[in-house]
Amino acid sequence: MLLVDGVCIGMGGASAVEDLSLEVRDHEVLGLIGPSGAGKSTLVDCVTGLCRPSAGRVLLGEQDLTRLAPHRIASLGVARTFQQPALSPALSVAENVGIGLNPSARCRAGCASGSSWAGHWPSSRGCSSSTTPPPA
């Protein structure tokens, strides 16, 4: 479970996120919606360690993520991708989509060298797979 508890994040003297709390249970998919400037990306930055809250905490199960470095948070399975409006013409549709699902699996599976990993969808995300996923 991911818990965001009373998080406040200031940006340039203004409050980007104020006293936000939410809970994402295991296997739950949660969408964040809101107008531009509402703090959605700032919240994701905070959860993934790219910025620090001025108050509150972020927990993954019992592990406090609030002051961990982004690479430590990613090693626990919490990461973000950035919007990439360009597709790689050398990859299939499934491979282009899969880049956002698990970039390290893509690299281990050899997509950069042209071999396919279509079908290596993480079963933990509720997707079925007819192929054994690449080794962790």
For residue 117, is pLDDT > 50? no
Decide if pLDDT at 102 tops 80.
Answer: no
Predicted pLDDT at 79: 87
Q: Which pairing describes strands 14-24 and 63-64: parallel, antiparallel, or unpaired?
A: unpaired
Q: Can you give the pLDDT at residue 92?
A: 87
Architecture of domain 2-75: 3-Layer(aba) Sandwich (3.40)
Element holding 74 (H helix, E strand): helix 70-75
Does residue 121 or residue 5 have the better pLDDT? 5
Structure tokens at 105: 């699996």
Distance CA 112, CA 104 (A): 11
Q: What is the DSSP letter of 76?
A: T
Chain Cα centroid distance, residue 110: 22
| Six-digit token string for 59 | 């927990």
% pLDDT > 90, the chain: 47
pLDDT on residue 35: 93
Type of residue numbered 36? S
The predicted model scores a pTM of: 0.63
- Which range of 8-12, 32-36, 62-66, 125-129 scores highest in mean pLDDT? It is 62-66
Instruction: Please give the Cα distance from 62 to 64 (Å, whole number).
Output: 6
Candidates 126, 44, 101; CA nearest to 118 is: 101
Could you tell me where in the chain the CATH 3.40.50.300 domains are found? 2-75
